[in-house]
Amino acid sequence: METYNESSFAQYNLPNTFVQDNHSRSTRGVLRGLHYQYPQWQGKLVRAVVGEIFDVAVDIRADSPSFGKWVGFYLNETNKQQLYIPPGFAHGFCVISEVADVVYKCTSLYKPSDDSAVRWDDPEINIDWPINNPEISKKDSSAPFLSDIRTL
């Protein structure tokens, strides 16, 4: 299975240079996000290689007509779909299966000082997560609301 092809991405004006690959393992009910890097924005090409996740991208570019809007897709080992999260978008996912291994390619290197987040349950964004009572990290549960980061 081909998971990335530089010329195919270039054909659709998508980035064709990735500088870091990450692998995350989580269990059913875990929700991660909504994460982003700022000021060094980071694009991500995300897929689930084991299990199933509901993957979400939220536009947090203050000057965008789709600011605060979200899209979500089920990614799993069977459908083999990927989601590209552009720079300027926050990213999160919840695990639907017993376990999920998520891999993602990044357009810029992770920089701890740029690590940022928006609240996963922000009512202004109003994501329709397909799980109840998710397991959330302390960092994610104390992330600011979208209204607190509008100046990006």
Q: Is-catalytic flag, 35? A: yes
Catalytic residue among 35, 38, 84, 110: 35
Pairwise CA distance, residues 111 & 66, whole Å: 27
Q: Is-catalytic flag, 104? A: yes
Q: Decide: 33 and 56 in contact? Cβ < 8 Å.
A: yes
Length of the chain counted residue by residue: 152
**What secondary structure, in 3-state letters, does 120-133 show?**
CCCCCCCCCCCCCC
Give the catalytic positions in this structure.
35, 104
